[in-house]
Amino acid sequence: MSRIHEALKKAAQEKTAHLAAGERADVAAATVDIHGSVLSMPHGPEPTVRETWTSEGGGVSPRFDDLMKRCAHHEWKPDPRSSIYSRGGDVTTIGAERFRTLRSRLSQIGAVRPLRTVLVTSSVPNEGKTFVAVNLAHSIARQHDKRVLLIDADLRSPRAHETLGAPPTPGLTNYLAGEADGFDVVQRGAEANFCFIPCGRPVSNASELLLGGRMKSLLKLVTPIFDWVIIDSPPALPVHDSSVLADLCDGVLFVVRAGETNHEIAERGVSEFRNKNLLGVVLNRVDKVEGYGNYYGYPSKEE
């Protein structure tokens, strides 16, 4: 029996016991790697500025300061139901601490091998991948010496802009379709080191856009500017988009919703990334009870 199966089974048993006792099922999460271990889960010289940021012909990335001057500035209003950082300031909740732990673990991995672009996905919808992607990016941005870019690449059902309380357009689809350049689609909120590319306008050809060369070129352009690029992608089993995106990233975080996701479905989803730098599995919405040990983590409100 795999460790993912064991974790899901135990979480389901605990949830059933609490509901039978009439207790409130507090939600939390944990991170386990593909071998069952718990995941307590390089910035080069700045390139020359060019006036137009394009993705054709291996374009040159702008400097971060130049990007900050030209990108859109918005007053984001994070959704308190799905963002543990919605109140701003220093966050001392268990949720924030678990994301700091995950952030630290990723930094440790990045210290021994290239790890700048991280894809966050799941097997099926509604497992909390957007919750993890957005709050992980927020946690990284709390480190004032780290620059993070969050990209909503779930072109079929985008939600990251709702969690951040940010405008949904212009965004990635506009860029991939050649309707906008990087300065047009990147936006930032109150934190100068946290930027966001929303999904953009709805499209009917999501796969074709992601398979095109502009997505690969975009990541080549933004990676030298940011310390971390976090990508929220579609779930793995319904469509092939996340597998395509994983080939462009340094690592993959896989989100599983405890007590809801069948272990066979979770195993099928994880198997899509075993040869694509799978970093680990985030077990989301685990009931927080005494004695469950290191499987517990941050609270989640995302449905």
Q: 303 with 41: CB under 8 angstroms?
A: no
The pLDDT tens digits for 36-94 are 333 433 333 333 333 456 544 456 778 899 999 999 999 999 988 888 887 655 566 77
State both tokens at 269: 């989803």
What percent of the chain is modeled with pLDDT above 70?
73
Measure the CA angle with vertex 93, ends 90 and 95; round to 5°: 110
What integer pLDDT is reported at residue 7 of this predicted model?
Answer: 63
Task: Map tokens 């990335």 to a residue.
Answer: 61
Q: 263 with 8: CB under 8 angstroms?
A: yes
What integer pLDDT is reported at residue 157 of this predicted model?
Answer: 93
What integer pLDDT is reported at residue 56 of this predicted model?
Answer: 47
Name the phi and psi angles at 88, rounded to 5: 75, 180
Domains and CATH numbers, the chain: 47-254+265-271 (3.40.50.300)
Q: State the pTM of this model.
A: 0.80
What percent of the chain is modeled with pLDDT above 90?
55
Interatomic CA distance for residues 271 and 200, integer angstroms:
30
The pLDDT tens digits for 37-50 are 334 333 333 333 33
* Mean of pLDDT over the chain: 80
Following CA atoms 37, 241, 286, 5 in sequence, which dihedral angle do they give, to the nearest 10 degrees? -50
Q: How confident is the model at residue 190 (pLDDT cuts 50, 70, 90)?
A: confident
Residue 103 has pLDDT above 80, yes or no: yes
Task: Map tokens 């930027």 to a residue.
Answer: 195
Q: How confident is the model at residue 261 (pLDDT cuts 50, 70, 90)?
A: confident
Contacts of 184 (CB under 8 A, 6+ apart): 72, 170, 174, 175
Interatomic CA distance for residues 132 and 282, integer angstroms:
8
Measure the CA angle with vertex 196, ends 195 and 200; round to 5°: 155
Nearest one of 107, 86, 103 to 301, comparing CA atoms: 86
β-partners of residue 152 are 232
The pLDDT tens digits for 111-160 are 999 999 999 999 999 999 999 999 999 999 999 899 999 999 999 999 99
Contacts of 217 (CB under 8 A, 6+ apart): 55, 56, 58, 59
Interatomic CA distance for residues 253 and 240, integer angstroms:
16
Q: Where are the alpha helices (DSSP H) in 190-294?
A: 206-211, 213-222, 241-246, 263-271
State both tokens at 71: 């990108």
β-partners of residue 149 are 195, 229
Q: Which of 205-209, 256-260, 284-288 reaches the highest mean pLDDT?
A: 205-209
Quickly list DSSP for 32-88: E-TTS-B------PPPPP-SS---TTSPPPPPHHHHHHHSEE------TTT-TTTT-
- To the nearest 10 degrees (0 to 180), the angle between helices 263-271 and 3-20 is 150
The pLDDT tens digits for 194-219 are 999 999 998 889 989 999 899 999 99
